C-alpha cells in the first residue's frame, strides 16, 4: 500500500508528525511520496524523505506559487531533482479556481517544469482545478513520447480520464471518491486498473468517515476500499495492483520490492485483513488472492559448466541453451515442492589427443540435470513474487557422446522473481531465476581413454533461466 501524494511537511503535522508516519506504516503502508509545492519548503520535504528509506518526494512549484517561480527557483527544482530521494517533478499544474497567479504565468511555469521532467526522465505530479481544456492542451502539445505523469486527486469525467490515459498518464484518486455526493464512480470504473493509483492528499480531502477532520496517510486504505467496491474487486487485488502501479511509476528498485516482500513475510499486514482485535492475535498472513495448487511449465536456460581437477585448475566448458520442463506443487502459500529437468549439448568440451598433443572435439557433451527442490515464496499475495530455493540434484554427463556418468549433488538459487498473472482459467506464472548445481568430491577419471591424467574432482553447473508455469483454476472462482 502506497500513499502516492501526501503533504507531511504541512504545518498541520508539526505537533505529531512522527506519530502520523508511524501510524501509516503500522497500518500497512510500504512507501510515502511527498510532493513539494514551493521553494521555501524544498528543504523540509527533502529532510522528511531522507529520514526514512520508505519515504520519497517530488520537487516542483505549485500553480498557487507560480509567481515565485523565478529562473533561479526553477533551476533549483532541476538541481534538486538529481537527489536520490526525488522521484518526480511536482506538484505542478494549473489552478483556475483561486487564480493566485495570472493564468498565463501559471501556464508558462507549468510548461517549463514539464520540460525539466523530460530532461530528467522523471514523471510529473499534476494539479488541475477548473482548467481542464488548457491543461490537456498543454500536455498534448508537450508530449513528445517522453512525458509521463499522474493527474492527482482526479475529479473529472471518464472522457477526460480516457484522454489523459491516451497521453500516457496515470490517474490518482483520493478521499473525494468516498463522498456521498461524489460523481466519480463511473470514472473509477471506466479506467484500466494498471493506470490507477491511490493517495490521501493529506492533510486535505479526508475520506468518509473522517471527512471534515485532518487527513493522514493511514487513511489511504479507505480510498482503496471504495475503488474495490466500485469495481467489484477484492481489497487485496486493488492494493496489489495500485501498489505495483506506483512502484513502476516512481521507479522504485527491485531492492525496494524485496524489502516490501520481506517485511510482509515477517509480520501481519493489517491492510489486507478486516479483523477484530481478538482475531488479530491469531492472524499471521493476509489472504492470498493468487492461490496455487499444482502447476506445470517449461523453462529455457543458458547452461555453463565449470570443472575442477586434481591439479588445482579449472576448465570452463562453455555454454549451451538448455530447454526443460518443471512441475510445482504448493503445500502452503509460501512453500512449494519443485521438480524440474533441463537438457543441454555443450560444444566447448575438449580432450587432449596423445597423437598430436592438441585439444580435439569429436562430439559435444550431453548434460542433463534432474532437480527436486523446496521453494520458499516471500510474498505470495503480491503480483510480483520473490522466492528462494534449495534441493538435491542428479546430473548426468555424456562425455564426448561416448560415456554417460551420473553424479549426485545439490543446487540453490540466491533469489528468483516471478509474476502472478490471474486469468479466469488459472494463473500464469512467468519468472526468472539463477540456479547453481554443485557436485564435489567426484574423483572421477576424465581422460576419455586418452593419456591426459587429470581427475575430475567436482563441477558447478550454472543455469540462469526463464520459466513459465500454468496453475489451473480448480475452484472455478
Q: What is the pLDDT of residues 238-296, one digit of tens each?
A: 999 999 999 989 987 544 444 444 444 333 333 333 334 443 444 345 567 788 999 99
Provide CATH 2.40.160.20 ranges for the chain.
294-472
294-472 has which CATH code? 2.40.160.20
What pTM value is reported for the model? 0.58
Provide CATH 3.20.20.140 ranges for the chain.
2-280
283 compared with 168, residue with greater pLDDT:
168
Q: Which three cell numbers stand for residue 50?
A: 531522507
Q: Which residues pair with 151 in a beta bridge?
A: 126, 171
Cα 23 to Cα 326: distance, rounded to the nearest angstrom: 44
Q: Which residues pair with 305 in a beta bridge?
A: 461
What pLDDT was estimated at residue 454? 56
Range ranked top by mean pLDDT from 151-165, 371-385, 432-446: 151-165
What pLDDT was estimated at residue 251? 82
The residue-averaged pLDDT of 306-313 equals 68
The residue-averaged pLDDT of 47-73 equals 96
H/E run at residue 89: strand 86-95
The residue-averaged pLDDT of 428-449 equals 75
What pLDDT was estimated at residue 463? 81
Contact 272, 260 (CB under 8 A): no
Q: How far is CA 72 from CA 47, 75, 78, 189, 300, in A?
A: 21, 5, 10, 43, 54
What pLDDT was estimated at residue 286? 53
What pLDDT was estimated at residue 401? 62
Q: β-strands 384-399, 426-445: how paired?
A: unpaired
What pLDDT was estimated at residue 235? 94
Q: Is the pLDDT of residue 353 over 60?
A: no
Average pLDDT, whole number, for the chain? Answer: 85
Q: Which three cell numbers stand for residue 475?
A: 475452484
What pLDDT was estimated at residue 343? 87
H-only helix segments in 121-215 = 132-142, 158-166, 185-190
What pLDDT was estimated at residue 361? 55
Q: How far is CA 67 from CA 63, 114, 403, 471, in A?
A: 8, 17, 82, 58
The residue-averaged pLDDT of 16-25 equals 95
pLDDT confidence bin for 369, thresholds 50/70/90 = confident
202 contact partners, CB below 8 Å, separation of at least 6:
3, 6, 7, 8, 10, 214, 215, 216, 217, 219
What pLDDT was estimated at residue 443? 64
What pLDDT was estimated at residue 379? 85
Q: How far is CA 350 from CA 334, 344, 360, 437, 456, in A?
A: 44, 16, 5, 22, 14
Least confident span in 127-131, 337-341, 342-346:
342-346
Q: Is the pLDDT of residue 336 over 60?
A: yes
Q: How far is CA 199 from CA 4, 56, 242, 333, in A?
A: 5, 14, 10, 30
Q: Is the pLDDT of residue 158 over 90?
A: yes
* The CATH number, out of the four listed (3.40.50.300, 1.10.1740.10, 3.20.20.140, 3.40.50.20), of the domain defined by the range 2-280: 3.20.20.140
Amino acid at each position: 500500500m502506497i500513499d502516492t501524494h501526501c503533504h507531511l511537511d504541512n504545518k498541520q503535522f508539526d505537533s505529531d508528525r512522527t506519530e502520523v508516519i508511524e501510524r501509516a506504516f503500522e497500518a500497512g503502508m510500504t512507501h510515502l511520496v511527498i510532493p513539494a509545492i514551493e521553494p521555501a519548503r524544498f528543504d523540509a520535504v527533502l529532510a522528511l524523505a531522507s529520514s526514512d528509506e520508505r519515504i520519497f518526494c517530488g520537487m516542483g512549484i505549485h500553480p498557487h506559487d507560480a509567481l515565485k517561480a523565478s529562473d533561479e527557483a526553477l533551476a533549483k527544482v532541476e538541481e534538486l531533482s538529481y537527489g536520490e530521494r526525488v522521484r518526480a517533478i511536482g506538484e505542478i499544474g494549473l489552478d483556475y479556481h483561486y487564480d493566485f497567479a495570472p493564468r498565463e504565468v501559471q501556464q508558462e511555469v507549468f510548461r517549463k517544469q514539464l520540460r525539466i521532467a523530460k530532461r530528467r526522465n522523471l514523471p510529473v505530479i499534476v494539479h488541475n482545478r477548473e482548467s481542464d481544456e488548457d491543461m490537456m492542451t498543454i500536455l498534448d502539445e508537450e508530449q513528445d513520447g517522453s512525458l509521463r505523469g499522474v493527474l492527482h486527486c482526479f475529479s473529472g469525467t471518464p472522457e477526460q480520464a480516457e484522454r489523459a490515459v491516451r497521453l500516457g498518464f496515470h490517474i490518482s484518486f483520493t478521499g473525494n471518491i468516498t463522498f456521498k455526493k461524489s460523481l466519480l464512480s463511473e470514472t473509477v470504473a471506466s479506467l484500466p486498473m494498471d493506470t490507477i493509483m491511490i493517495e490521501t492528499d493529506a492533510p486535505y480531502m479526508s475520506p468518509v468517515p473522517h471527512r471534515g477532520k485532518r487527513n493522514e496517510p493511514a487513511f489511504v486504505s479507505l480510498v482503496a476500499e471504495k475503488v474495490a467496491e466500485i469495481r467489484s474487486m477484492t481489497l487485496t487485488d486493488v492494493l496489489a495492483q495500485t501498489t505495483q502501479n506506483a512502484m513502476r511509476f516512481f521507479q522504485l528498485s527491485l531492492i525496494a520490492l524485496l524489502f516490501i516482500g520481506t517485511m510482509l513475510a515477517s509480520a501481519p499486514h493489517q491492510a489486507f485483513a478486516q479483523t477484530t482485535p481478538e482475531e488479530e492475535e491469531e492472524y499471521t498472513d493476509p489472504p492470498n488472492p493468487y492461490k496455487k495448487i499444482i502447476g506445470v511449465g517449461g523453462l529455457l536456460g543458458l547452461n555453463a559448466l565449470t570443472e575442477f581437477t586434481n591439479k588445482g585448475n579449472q576448465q570452463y566448458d562453455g555454454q549451451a541453451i538448455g530447454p526443460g520442463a518443471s512441475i510445482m506443487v504448493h503445500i502452503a502459500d509460501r512453500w512449494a515442492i519443485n521438480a524440474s529437468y533441463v537438457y543441454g549439448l555443450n560444444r566447448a568440451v575438449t580432450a587432449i589427443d596423445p597423437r598430436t598433443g592438441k585439444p580435439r572435439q569429436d562430439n559435444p557433451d550431453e548434460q542433463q540435470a534432474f532437480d527436486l527442490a523446496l521453494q520458499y515464496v516471500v510474498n505470495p499475495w503480491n503480483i510480483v513474487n520473490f522466492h528462494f530455493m534449495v534441493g538435491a540434484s542428479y546430473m548426468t554427463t555424456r562425455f564426448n557422446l561416448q560415456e554417460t556418468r551420473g553424479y549426485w549433488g545439490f543446487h540453490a538459487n540466491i533469489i528468483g522473481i516471478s509474476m502472478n498473472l490471474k486469468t479466469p482459467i488459472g494463473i500464469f506464472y512467468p519468472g526468472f531465476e539463477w540456479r547453481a548445481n554443485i557436485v564435489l568430491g567426484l574423483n572421477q577419471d576424465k581422460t576419455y581413454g586418452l593419456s591426459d591424467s587429470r581427475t575430475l574432482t567436482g563441477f558447478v553447473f550454472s543455469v540462469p533461466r526463464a520459466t513459465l508455469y500454468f496453475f489451473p483454476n480448480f475452484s472455478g472462482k
